[in-house]
Structure 1
């Protein structure tokens, strides 16, 4: 479902969430997952508190660029987002982007929700990745990963040109002890090119053990 702006461009009125086959909460995030469920390299990407755009740049050797596909004022609507959206003050703006290499390969999808009165302050250049925007402002942040998902999404299969299921997560950015934005991210299986398989089988785990 879409809405037509005054400029006759098409703006999405929904965002792409996974239909979970499995999901975990903060307890799973903190203790980590069995390697037969999620391989160590993928756990570093999904469960760590580092910048995904920076990680993607290091993995691919290319700058991580952003295609903004939606910037919508949603007001007080909960927008089908994780419950933590209620930590972000109203009214809210929803931002949707593709994260891709400079050569055009889509690597991730992200939706974020911001307090409308502050979004322009922190995203002065909306075409930059959030990490790049906040780094330029020397903003001190804490990335608080609260949930992880493994599931399907037809729209993301088409956009990534990859078959699901996909891994995703959601987290809050904290700034000066206050929630700044809620972010929901899904990563493309294309990243197996750099990170290896998403899961290890028991044979792989045994072969990695040393005396």
Structure 2
């Protein structure tokens, strides 16, 4: 299934997923130590580096339910799909899912791409219109969110989709279930969240990293 998503008068066909062109990125060592607050403010670090549910965090921040707009579900087979190297931890053949996370009133807050073993996605995402967190919570699935990478950069498609200028902060992580990788997820958050979280960086120049 391939869908078209739009913002205003512009439409984008998600033939590929929207990875940030990085200004800066870090791996596990950076994530364990945390970042200087002049690079990423503490409130944003809680969102990006914590192992809690971003869906739940967004609901607590906005006071609205978090809803999902599925924009793409594509069978990619054994293709590595320009994804983080961890995609190789997810058994193939694989399915790629792209979504917007938004408030019930329509404000887009995040973009996410996830990669699943195609033969198992129906088991875990029985209702494709629900967020991953809501789907797995319904099943009482025990999970461990293993954050492996953090990214800061630009994407023309996400700038159009969010309706907000970049740069953007994102991350990627594995969901583990019963000691096995369940899915790889790449998330990017909208700067609109500064309304709730405050500035992304505790410095006078937010463009410096």
Q: Within 2, Cα distance between the matches of 1:37 and 1:78?
A: 31
Write out aligned runs for 1:132-211 (5 A).
Answer: 132-201=134-203
1:12 Cα deviation after fit:
2.4
1:103-156 Cα offsets, whole Å, 9 max, x none, are 000000000000001000000001000000000000000000000000000000
Say which of 81, 84, 103 aligns to 1:82. Answer: 84
Alignment partner, residue 94 of structure 1: 96
Q: Within 2, Cα distance between the matches of 1:24 and 1:11?
A: 29
Q: Within 2, Cα distance between the matches of 1:160 and 1:30?
A: 29
The count of residues paired between Structure 1 and Structure 2 equals 196
Q: CA RMSD in A?
A: 1.5
Q: Is the 8 A contact 1:65 1:128 kept in 2?
A: yes
1:13 Cα deviation after fit:
2.0
Alignment partner, residue 69 of structure 1: 71
Alignment partner, residue 130 of structure 2: 128
Q: TM-score when scaled to structure 1? A: 0.91
- Secondary structure of the residue that 1:117 maps to in structure 2? helix
1:153-201 Cα offsets, whole Å, 9 max, x none, are 0000110010100000000000000000000000000000000000002
Q: TM-score when scaled to structure 2? A: 0.91
Alignment partner, residue 27 of structure 2: 25
**Structure having the higher Rg:** 1
Q: Within 2, Cα distance between the matches of 1:11 and 1:134?
A: 28
- Secondary structure of the residue that 1:58 maps to in structure 2? helix
Q: Within 1, Cα distance between the matches of 2:111 and 2:129?
A: 14
Alignment partner, residue 106 of structure 2: 104
Unaligned runs of 5+ in 2: 4-11, 205-209
Q: Is the 8 A contact 1:11 1:70 kept in 2?
A: no
1:11 Cα deviation after fit:
6.1
- Secondary structure of the residue that 1:15 maps to in structure 2? coil
